[in-house]
Amino acid sequence: MDDNKALAIVSALANGVNPQTGEMFEVDSPYQSVDVIRALYAAVRALEATARTKSRANRGRMPANAGKPWTEQEDRELLEKFDSGHSVPELAQAHDRTLAGIQARLERHGRVQVQGLQWRGRSSQAENQAAR
């Protein structure tokens, strides 16, 4: 069952509606209990939050694992794949992380070296004159 269908069912239940028939529940139904209704609305909020998170990830902003801590298992898999010839873009996709995240992890484990950092901001007048 996908999350959207689950959300529709739980929302109907929270609103006192039988999701299969569309009929309102009787007053003495367990679905009309205050605590049950509160629990169902909590479930609705959780499903909505999950849907928003998935939606953001699907819009191409950031991979789902970006910024999350690395596990020992994930580190081992990363290094094994890198050592067997996988490219950084392939590794980023496989681990659902950014290219920079993969690069940084490989640097941390000594598999690649930092290639001279360059300042990309404005240079001083002295630097501009020296470059001429």
Neighbour count for residue 18 (Cβ, 10 Å): 13
pLDDT given for residue 122 in this prediction: 44
The total number of structural domains that make up the chain: 2
Conformational region of residue 60, where left means phi above 0, alpha means psi within -120 to 50, and beta covers everything else: left
Instruction: Specify whether 78 is located in the same domain as 39.
Output: no
- Distance in angstroms (rounded) separating the CA atoms of residues 115 and 57: 30
Question: Is 106 exposed, middle or buried, given 0-12, 13-18 or 19+ CB atoms closer than 10 A?
Answer: middle
Instruction: Specify whether 101 is located in the same domain as 78.
Output: yes
CA angle 92, 97, 99 (to 5 degrees): 55
pLDDT given for residue 59 in this prediction: 60
Query: Average pLDDT for residues 96-114, to the nearest whole number?
Result: 88
Question: Which position has the higher pLDDT, 12 or 59?
Answer: 12
Instruction: Specify whether 11 is located in the same domain as 44.
Output: yes
Instruction: Specify whether 15 is located in the same domain as 54.
Output: yes
- Distance in angstroms (rounded) separating the CA atoms of residues 12 and 6: 10
pLDDT at residue 116 is higher than 90: no
| 90 in a structural domain | yes
Instruction: Specify whether 7 is located in the same domain as 53.
Output: yes
Instruction: Specify whether 50 is located in the same domain as 18.
Output: yes
Q: Is the pTM of this model over 0.75?
A: no
| Residue 77 lies in domain | 72-108
Instruction: Specify whether 82 is located in the same domain as 54.
Output: no
